Structure 1
């Protein structure tokens, strides 16, 4: 399978490179997602037989002041890539997010539930989803949540940095979701791509870690596994204001993902142990 991946330095893209080194990866220097036409030209010139879009504008708070850029990168360009893939008759796999939901209630969100994003980032990702579906080609939109790895910037690495400096931290406890190891997302994307190449219909799916937890409990487990003596104080979201509102309920229902692709929710605690071991070796 000749696989083309948009993205190179992000958490999921780096894990994809480790799992599928034979794939071609296009970073910002070769495929700027603020230029949809250039990205489409690169895709058409690649000779790819399948495409994964692992690149996105992910600065949730900055997006509130850069709606045009977020909308271009997360909305217009994925749509352009999906249309090009439809024209070429090749599958397109696109990563999305729990931020397309408003976070109400306490039951896991199903793929077919109505979207109602709270901020610019979520709206830009919802627009990208709609554009990919409208392209009419064979595709999978894979929503995930709370991504972490040994690379880039993420919650685990932030907690480790702060935990090395302080003995007491206040962490939001009223947001609940599934932390998801980037390496597991990468493996899921490759399996889904293979299934599409074999004729799977595709659609919108969810993939997130289990069991559901809060940011505060995620922090406690990080410190426990890392051997750091840090007291975590639970706080409400209102006590930690940010430019963009976060969904309180980011639980994602994976039933259809398991049925159609045989993918089960990864245990984020095991994934955390692997990430911490990897960080020790860096």
Structure 2
């Protein structure tokens, strides 16, 4: 199986490259300058030349706050880009897997969101991602839209790595406690994407495998409690730790509003695609252990340099 993945350095594409290598899946990552989602038409022919079995639309404009001032750019990358990819997938008669976000919801629901719940994004980022979902679904029936949330990994920039970095220099951190969601490992996302792609290719006539699915780690938590778990696990492994001071969203104002409830129900993903996502605590442990082991290896290299 050969998957063409948009982007080169994002958390999910990096995880896909790693997981693909262990599962016999060829991952072809394509990003700027070869493929610029802000101007996708110029690079689409390169995808056709690769002849992938499926396209994974993973790259996106993800600067939630910055998007409020760069709405046009966010729309081009998050909506127009995926639309062009989905149209190409239709022309090539191959499936497209498009990654989306919990930010398509406003967070007012008191229980986890299911795929059929009413969308109502609070900001530009969520609105452009929702537009991307709709564009993909309109361009081809052979699609799987995977909404995920609170992504972390050993790669790139994310909440988990930020907490560990700040804890190495600060004794206490202020963390929002009134936003709840499902922390999700990019490595777990990669495993699920590969499984979904395999299902779509193996059963091209099964429409139930297509559509929108929620893909997050199992279990919910607030940002503050996520930070506490990060520090507890880090401390047990000999890494940095800090006290957590719980604050409310109003104490940490941002240009873009965040949903208070980002919990996504993954029942459909399990029942249709047979995917059970790991609990967020175990995946968090694996990520922290890997990061700390990598830091120790780096220290050893410096000592012997």
Alignment counterpart, residue 182 of structure 1, candidates 179, 186, 205: 186
Alignment deviations for residues 234-267 of structure 1 (CA, whole Å, 9 cap, x no partner): 1110100011110000000111100011112321
1:35 equivalent to 2:47? Answer: no
Partner-residue secondary structure (3-state), 1:20 = helix
Q: CA deviation at 1:281?
A: 3.1
Aligned equivalent of 2:117: 113
Q: Indicate the RMSD between aligned Cα atoms, in angstroms.
A: 1.1
Deviates more, 1:163-172 or 1:122-131: 163-172
Deviations 1:162-189 (A, max 9, x none): 1111111110000000000000000000
Tell me if structure 2 keeps the 8 A contact 1:83–1:137.
no
- Within 5 Å, give how 1:91-170 maps onto structure 2: 91-170=95-174
Alignment partner, residue 301 of structure 2: none
Aligned length: 282
CA distance in 2, matches of 1:210, 1:260: 17
Correspondence for 2:300 = none
Q: Is the 8 A contact 2:234 2:241 kept in 1?
A: no
Aligned: 1:257 with 2:257? no
Within 2, Cα distance between the matches of 1:95 and 1:38?
22
**2:11 corresponds to which residue?**
11
Q: Distance in 1 between matches of 2:202 and 2:43?
A: 26
1:247 to 256, 259, 270: 259
- Indicate whether 1:223 and 2:231 are aligned: yes
Contact 1:2–1:23 (CA<8 Å) still a contact in 2?
yes
- Displacement of 1:43 in angstroms is 1.9
2:188–2:277 CA contact under 8 A, matched in 1: no
Unpaired runs of 5+ residues, structure 1, are: none
Q: Is the 2:173–2:245 Cα contact (8 Å) retained in structure 1?
A: yes
Does structure 2 conserve the Cα–Cα contact (< 8 Å) formed by 1:176 and 1:250? yes
TM-score normalized by structure 2?
0.90
Matches of 2:152 and 2:84, distance apart in 1: 28
Note if 1:235 corresponds to 2:267. Answer: no
Q: 1:231, CA displacement in angstroms?
A: 1.4
4+ residue stretches of structure 1 with deviation over 4 A? none
TM-score by length of 1: 0.97
Structure with the greater alpha carbon radius of gyration? 2
Whole-angstrom distance in 2 between the partners of 1:39 and 1:211: 39
Deviates more, 1:175-184 or 1:104-113: 104-113
Superposition pairs for residues 193-232 of structure 1, below 5 Å? 193-199=197-203, 200-201=206-207, 202-227=210-235, 228-232=240-244
Q: Is this contact kept in 1: 2:164–2:241, CA < 8 A?
A: no
- Alignment of 1:89 with 2:93, yes or no, is yes
Q: Is contact 1:85-1:137 (8 Å) kept?
A: no
